[in-house]
Amino acid sequence: VNQILLLLLVLTVCAILYNKVHQAPSALKNETVDLESPEEMEEEIPVVICAAAGRMGAAVAAINSIYSNTEANVLFYIVGLKTTIPHIRKWIENSKLKEIKFKVVEFNPMVLKGKIRQDASRPELLQPLNFVRFYLPLLIQKHEKVIYLDDDIIVQGDIQELYETKLAPGHAAAFSDDCDLPSTHEVVRSVGMQNTYMGFLDYRKQAIRDLGISPSTCSFNPGLIVANMTEWKHQRITKQLEKWMQRNVEENLYSSTLGGGVATSPMLIVFHDKYSSINPMWHIRHLGWSPDTRYSEHFLQEAKLLHWNGRYKPWDYPSVHTDLWETWFIPDPSGKFKLTRPDS
DSSP-assigned letters across all residues of 7-47: HHHHHHHHHHHHHHHHHHHHHHHHHHHHHT-GGGSPPEEEE
**Would residue 39 count as lying in a domain?**
no
Q: Is the pLDDT of residue 41 over 90?
A: no
Q: Return the pLDDT at 229.
A: 97
171 in a domain, yes or no? Answer: yes
For residue 106, is it within any domain? yes
In a domain, 119, yes or no: yes
- What CATH number should be reported for the domain holding residue 147? 3.90.550.10
pLDDT band at 290 (very low <50, low <70, confident <90, very high): confident
Whether residue 277 is contained in a domain is answered as yes
Q: What is the pLDDT of residue 260?
A: 55
- The domain tally of the chain equals 1
Q: Determine the structural domain holding residue 133 and report its residue range.
A: 45-180+219-251+264-327
* 18 compared with 281, residue with greater pLDDT: 281
In a domain, 172, yes or no: yes
Burial of 121 (0-12, 13-18, 19+ CB in 10 A): exposed
Residue 130, domain member (yes or no): yes
Three-state secondary structure call for residue 59: helix
Average of per-residue pLDDT values in the chain: 86
Mean pLDDT of 202-227: 95
Given a cut of 70, whether residue 124 has pLDDT beyond it is no
* Domain membership flag for residue 53: yes
Q: How far is CA 45 from CA 110, 145, 226, in A?
A: 29, 8, 11
